[in-house]
Amino acid sequence: MARGYLATQKYNAENTGMGYTPFTIKKDGEKRQVRILQHELEWVNLHMHSAWKIVKPTRCAAPRTMEDDVEVEDRSQCPLCNAECPRSPKVCIPVRVRGDEDASRVQIIMYGRDHFAMVADAIEHLPEGKSMTDYDFEIKRVGSDTNTKYFWYRTETEQRPLNEAELKLEVPDMEEIVPILEEHVLLRRAKDYLDSEDAAPVGAAGGGGSNGSAKTPF
Pick between residue 142 and residue 180 the one whose CB is nearest to Zn ion.
180
36 binds Zn ion (CB under 5 A): no
Number of residues that bind Zn ion (CB under 5 A): 5
Instruction: Output the CA–CA distances (angstroms, integers) from residue 116 to 92, 94, 121, 151, in the order listed.
Output: 10, 14, 9, 10
55 binds Zn ion (CB under 5 A): no
110 binds Zn ion (CB under 5 A): no
Part in contact with Zn ion (CB under 5 A); list of ranges 1-9, 81-89, 104-112, 163-171? 81-89
DSSP the chain: -PPPHHHHHHHHHHHHS--SEE----STT-EEEEEE-S-GGG-EEEEEEEETTTEEEEE----EEEETTEEEE-GGG-HHHHTT--EEEEEEEEEEETT-S-TT--EEEEE-HHHHHHHHHHHHTSPTT--GGGEEEEEEEES-GGG-EEEEEEEEEEES---HHHHHS----HHHHSPPPPHHHHHHHHHHHHHHHHHSPTT-GGG--TTS-TTS--
Part in contact with Zn ion (CB under 5 A); list of ranges 57-65, 149-157, 165-173, 195-203? 57-65
Part in contact with Zn ion (CB under 5 A); list of ranges 62-70, 102-110, 111-119, 204-212? 62-70
Instruction: Determine which residue in the list 48, 78, 83, 132 makes contact with Zn ion, applying CB under 5 A.
Output: 78
Instruction: Determine which residue in the list 36, 46, 54, 60 makes contact with Zn ion, applying CB under 5 A.
Output: 60
181 binds Zn ion (CB under 5 A): no
Pick between residue 62 and residue 132 the one whose CB is nearest to Zn ion.
62
Instruction: Determine which residue in the list 34, 54, 55, 81 makes contact with Zn ion, applying CB under 5 A.
Output: 81
Q: Min. distance of Cβ 115 from Zn ion in angstroms?
A: 21
| Residue ranges in contact with Zn ion by CB under 5 A | 60, 62, 78, 80-81
